[in-house]
Amino acid sequence: MSDGAPLDGLRVLEISSFVASPLCGLTLAQLGAEVIRIDPIGGAGDQHRWPLAPSGTSIYWTGLNKSKKSVTLNFRDPEGQRLVADLVAASGPGGGIVVTNAVGRPWLGYDQLAKVRPDVIHLQILGHHDGRPAVDYTINAGLGFPMITGPEGHLGPVNHVLPAWDVACGLYAAIGVLSAERHRRSTGEGRRITLALEDVALAVAGHLGFLAEAQLTGADRPRIGNHLYGGFARDFATADGERVMVATVTGRHFADLAAATGLTGTFAELERLLGADFAVDGDRYQHREVIASLLAPWFAGRDLGQVALGLAGTSVLWSRYRQFTDVVADLVAGGADDGGADDGSTDDGSTDDGSTDGNGPGHGGLAGNSMLHEVDQPGVGPVLAAASPLEQDGRLEPAPASRLGADTADVLAGLLGLSAPQLRDLAERGVTG
């Protein structure tokens, strides 16, 4: 970045575990904040969470703790608790920021920390808004998403492997910290912030219309497999055993798909017979099965390369279904033969001139992406790591996660001025890791 990192001078103390809270710290660290993760000696509950590297090191933990410093303290020892308060008080004008998902620890709460630093910004992530514990899977189950996910006719719930609410919660938390820090800069006042995982999920469900739909119709949304609710998008099999996802979120997308597959006349006659207009989202959705049945032979009669050629130069949104191993191979080798045109569409379906990205059948956006770098992660070895997705005149390169507790002495000496004998004494007495 040409003018320094956006969050230079910000110092955050993170006492956390699992996804949402560490993701908040990671998001801030990747924009230049100094983030110090403080764990109990031996690590928190996520220290050995899968997936693991062949060495046994958690690449989940190292992935979420890139670019942070690591301190370990004995949280059960009053002296360890006091050191946390001292770090809050001594962390300078850009410091005094605490992010945590720990509950039931009064010494880590806003009220106690505000006594040592009145302008403290304290963000606590909860499960439910009333303080009851929860995780992404239980929140998702309680909101109803697993009951509308999966193939048509399936009776049981289908959980999703992506912890969507944890991710959204972590990003909301980062926004909360930055909004409170801006308020503090103008007023000198700190902030107590609470953020419940349940509230994040409930808010998103409301924003996307799921709640209003149920309220107004009194009906549950049906399971529709890989179709797009309210429009036309679906997966198709190709002649060489691949599968592609094809999405038409505007009338232009659908018209281009019809032209590319030679079905413009067929669809026009179908519209006449059905009294439908396939430029309209709802009509494409209502007649999705017959539309898909007409399109399926075109894809089934072509291999992936031929599909890519047939859709090249169109506005049609499509991609081959890939495994993570395919993605990594693409990143390492510099491109895979898996299709996907880019018409400049935004996520609401608006388009620019419909030109392709110039990469032909390759998935050109991955290879050479400036967000991705190889870092030498202690305990793991060389591994791909992502910088911030926010590109602001460049990006800070990702740094590996510190080994657990590796920065304890440096942080305590640098922020609290502890001497080498004092640090040895704390370590020998089990106060620090």
Tokens of 271: 């519209």
Break the chain into its structural domains and give their ranges: 11-206+373-428, 232-333
Q: How many CB atoms lie within 10 A of CB 346?
A: 9
Q: 314-354 pLDDT, tens per residue?
A: 999 999 999 999 989 888 875 333 334 444 444 444 443 33
- Give CA 391 to chain center in angstroms: 16
Fold of 11-206+373-428: Rossmann fold (3.40.50)
Q: 184-222 pLDDT, tens per residue?
A: 999 999 999 999 999 999 999 999 999 999 999 999 999
CA atoms within 13 A on the CB side of 398: 27
Tokens of 89: 């008080």
Q: What is the pLDDT of residue 403?
A: 97
Match 């010494």 to its residue by tokens.
Answer: 107
Q: How far lies 398's CA from each of 117, 336, 408, in Å? A: 31, 25, 21
DSSP character string of 103-145: -S-GGGSHHHHHHH-TT-EEEEEESSTTS----HHHHHHHHTG
β-pair type (232-237, 243-248): antiparallel
String of b and e for 368-396 (b: at least 16 CB within 10 Å)? eeebeeebebebbeeeebebbeeeeeebb
The superfamily CATH assigns to domain 232-333 is formyl-coa transferase, domain 3 (3.30.1540.10)
Q: What is the pLDDT of residue 366?
A: 64
Q: What angle do CA 224, 230, 232 make, to 5 degrees?
A: 80
46 assigned to active site: no
Q: Average of pLDDT values for 378-387?
A: 94
Q: What is the pLDDT of residue 332?
A: 81
pLDDT band at 367 (very low <50, low <70, confident <90, very high): low
Q: What does the alpha-carbon distance between residue 398 and residue 85 come to, in Å, rounded to a whole number?
A: 29
Tokens of 27: 């998001």
Q: The whole model's pTM is what?
A: 0.90
Of 219-228, 328-337, 365-374, where does mean pLDDT reach its minimum? 328-337
Q: 286-318 pLDDT, tens per residue?
A: 999 999 999 999 999 999 999 999 999 999 999
Q: What does the alpha-carbon distance between residue 204 and residue 207 come to, in Å, rounded to a whole number?
A: 5
Residue pair 194/44 in contact (Cβ under 8 Å)? The answer is no
Bin 144: left if φ > 0, else alpha if -120 < ψ < 50, else beta.
Answer: left
Beta bridge partners of 11: 34
pLDDT band at 3 (very low <50, low <70, confident <90, very high): low
DSSP character string of 225-243: TTSPTTSEEEEEE-TTS-E
Q: What is the pLDDT of residue 334?
A: 59
Q: How far lies 400's CA from each of 206, 394, 414, in Å? A: 37, 19, 21
Q: What does the alpha-carbon distance between residue 250 and residue 280 come to, in Å, rounded to a whole number?
A: 8
Q: 81-95 pLDDT, tens per residue?
A: 999 999 999 977 899
Q: Average of pLDDT values for 144-160?
A: 95
String of b and e for 86-100 (b: at least 16 CB within 10 Å)? ebbbbbeebbbbbbb
Backbone φ and ψ of 421, nearest 5°:
-60, -40
The catalytic position among 39, 46, 136, 166 is: 166
Q: What is the pLDDT of residue 92?
A: 79
Closest CA to 379 of 73, 36, 63: 63
Q: Quick one: DSSP state of residue 337?
A: B
Q: Average of pLDDT values for 238-255?
A: 97
Tokens of 366: 């991955």
Q: Which residue has the higher pLDDT, 366 or 84?
A: 84
Q: What does the alpha-carbon distance between residue 291 and residue 266 come to, in Å, rounded to a whole number?
A: 10
> If you count them, how many residues does the chain have?
433
Name 96's Cβ contacts closer than 8 Å, sequence gap at least 6. 88, 89, 117, 119, 120, 121, 190
Strands annotated E in 230-365: 232-237, 243-248, 317-320
Q: What does the alpha-carbon distance between residue 66 and residue 270 come to, in Å, rounded to a whole number?
A: 55
Cis peptide before 51 (omega within 30 of 0): yes
Q: 262-283 pLDDT, tens per residue?
A: 999 999 999 999 999 999 999 9
Q: What is the pLDDT of residue 384?
A: 92
Q: What does the alpha-carbon distance between residue 323 and residue 329 come to, in Å, rounded to a whole number?
A: 10
What H or E segment, with its residue span, contains residue 415? helix 408-416
pLDDT band at 363 (very low <50, low <70, confident <90, very high): very low
- Residue 417: pLDDT above 70? yes
pLDDT band at 1 (very low <50, low <70, confident <90, very high): low
Q: Average of pLDDT values for 128-157?
A: 95
Q: What is the pLDDT of residue 27?
A: 98
